[in-house]
């Protein structure tokens, strides 16, 4: 196939060629960035919480004074554990995908914060909570009865804790985290074990690498650890047990107020938390489909117009020996050149659009591999869109040339 005749023909139709190329460029920029956003949001939606979500629910009450914490905990735990089907009821400060209650920066030095490790979620939990959550220990040992310390404010002043593998690899890369010390202001923590996964309460507020920066802190119930109860039951019973528990609060502790919105199963909390992300994914995919559809229609329309204009030339070529395959390849090559020019512009626009998103939405750089993926998708779209008009052009009989003379 001779490229020069094709380029000469395109030069005679500069405006139409430029418009289609710009449409393809814009589609390339949108396609690459939209797919990048969809991939990031989908990865976050699939985050491993590290807990046995199907068997867990959380029930939250408030409206009581801190001095009443011990009494409220005692009454609530006794009443909840008496519900038929309840396997365990324990205290916890926050759960994955629920309200965040204990995020703070940690440092390897005491109070200086010269080398900040990062902002982590401190999850305060009473005895039995680790087992109820279903966390997987990968190194070290579990909290023993003597490891539970009282917390009158944010956290105990000196306590041994469990950290997630993600946090350990960030804070002490290439080293065993066991026995390592870190501080949050004047509060001292020492690592006694590492859990495989444990998502923080609001993972979407942080980079994906920070979604599991969690510290499991054994705390004596009371003080700052009150009002939030982790319920465990068989997966088929957990919704019923939670419903009974919600209805029993008024009888168990009539002086507290049930938090209706945050008293849910963990599966429902995950669904609620990521609802906006799922809607955004649907919108982005809709925009991508619309852009590709408009681009394909533009290619079909332009090629059909050119085929109608060139019927006489096509008939002459057929009359002097051009095969249907030659005509088909001509239009496919022509489309490939236009799409390639549009993709070249689109790659530049993709990075400009990514820079804008980075500035206003704190997104990372667009990975380079999205560019060839977008180019491949548009090349395939172009070839499919041009196929119909090209086949009609190839079907033009040689007699058209004689009829036009």
Predicted local confidence at residue 3, as pLDDT: 76
Average pLDDT over residues 327-338: 83
- For 126-166, how does the pLDDT look when each residue is reduced to its tens digit (9 = 90+)? 999 999 999 999 999 999 999 999 887 778 888 999 999 99
Q: How far apart are CA 226 and CA 73, in angstroms?
A: 6
Q: How confident is the model at residue 320 (pLDDT cuts 50, 70, 90)?
A: confident
Q: How far apart are CA 199 and CA 273, in angstroms?
A: 13
Q: How confident is the model at residue 400 (pLDDT cuts 50, 70, 90)?
A: low
State in Å, rounded, how far the first CA of the chain is from the last one. 27
Other C-beta atoms lying within 10 Å of the C-beta of residue 255? 13
Predicted local confidence at residue 405, as pLDDT: 45
Q: How confident is the model at residue 404 (pLDDT cuts 50, 70, 90)?
A: very low
SS (H, E, C) the chain: CCHHHHHHHHHCCHHHHHHHHHHHHHHHHHHHHHHHHHHHHHHHHCCCCCCCHHHEEEEEEECCCHHHHHHHHHHHHHHHHCCCCCCEEEEECCCCCCCCCCEEEEECCCCCCCCCCEEEEEEEECCCHHHHHCCCEEEECCCCHHHCECCCCCCCCEEEEEEEHHHHHHHCCCCCCCCCEEEECCEEEEEEEEECCCCCCCHHHCCHHHCCCEEEEEECCECCECCEEEEECCCCCHHHHHHHHHHHHHHHCCCCEECCCCCCEHHHHHHHHCHHHHHHHHHHHHHHHHHHHHHHHHHHHHHHHHHHHCHHHHHHHHHCCCCHHHHHHHHHHHHHHHHHHHHHHHHHHHHHHHHHHHHHHCCCCCCCCHHHHHHHHHHHHHHHHHHHHHHHHHCCCCHHHHHCC
Average pLDDT over residues 389-403: 72
CA angle 284, 288, 290 (to 5 degrees): 115
CA angle 299, 366, 200 (to 5 degrees): 125
Q: What is the mean pLDDT of the chain?
A: 88
- For 346-395, how does the pLDDT look when each residue is reduced to its tens digit (9 = 90+)? 899 988 888 888 877 767 788 888 889 999 999 998 888 888 887 887 77
Q: How confident is the model at residue 327 (pLDDT cuts 50, 70, 90)?
A: confident
At 20, list the tokens.
């289609």
Residue 189 has pLDDT above 90, yes or no: yes
């Amino acid at each position: 196939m001779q490229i020069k005749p094709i380029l000469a023909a395109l030069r005679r139709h500069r405006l139409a060629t430029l418009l289609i190329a710009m449409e393809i460029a814009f589609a390339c920029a949108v396609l690459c960035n939209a797919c990048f956003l969809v991939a990031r949001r989908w990865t976050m939606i699939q985050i491993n919480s590290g807990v046995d979500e199907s068997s867990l629910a959380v029930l939250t009450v408030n409206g009581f004074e801190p001095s009443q914490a011990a009494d409220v905990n005692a009454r609530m735990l006794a009443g909840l554990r008496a519900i038929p089907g309840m396997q365990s009821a324990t205290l916890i400060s926050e759960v994955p995908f629920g309200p965040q209650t204990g995020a703070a920066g940690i440092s390897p030095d005491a109070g200086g914060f010269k080398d900040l490790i990062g902002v982590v979620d401190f999850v305060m939990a009473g005895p039995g909570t680790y087992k109820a959550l279903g966390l997987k220990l990968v190194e070290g040992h579990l909290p023993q009865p003597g490891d539970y310390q009282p917390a009158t404010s944010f956290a105990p002043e000196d306590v041994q804790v469990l950290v997630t593998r993600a946090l350990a690899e960030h804070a002490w890369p290439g080293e065993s985290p066991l026995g390592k010390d870190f501080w949050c202001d004047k509060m001292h923590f020492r690592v006694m074990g590492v859990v495989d996964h444990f998502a923080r309460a609001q993972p979407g507020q942080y980079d994906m690498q920070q979604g599991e920066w969690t510290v499991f802190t054994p705390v004596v119930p009371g003080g700052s650890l009150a009002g939030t109860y982790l319920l465990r039951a068989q997966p088929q019973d957990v919704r019923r047990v939670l419903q009974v528990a919600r209805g029993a609060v008024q009888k168990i502790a009539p002086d507290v107020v049930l938090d209706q919105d945050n008293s849910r199963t963990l599966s429902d909390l995950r669904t609620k938390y990521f609802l906006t992300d799922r809607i955004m994914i649907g919108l982005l995919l809709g925009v991508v489909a619309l852009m590709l559809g408009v681009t394909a229609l533009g290619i079909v329309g332009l090629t059909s117009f050119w085929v109608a204009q060139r019927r006489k030339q096509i008939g002459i070529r057929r009359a002097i020996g051009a095969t249907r395959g030659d005509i088909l390849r001509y239009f496919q090559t022509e489309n490939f050149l236009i799409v390639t020019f549009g993709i070249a512009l689109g790659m530049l626009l993709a990075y400009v659009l990514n820079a804008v998103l980075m500035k206003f939405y704190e997104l990372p750089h667009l990975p380079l591999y999205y560019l060839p993926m977008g180019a491949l998708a548009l090349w395939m779209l172009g070839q499919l869109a041009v196929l119909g008009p090209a086949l009609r052009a190839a079907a033009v009989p040689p007699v058209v040339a004689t009829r036009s003379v």
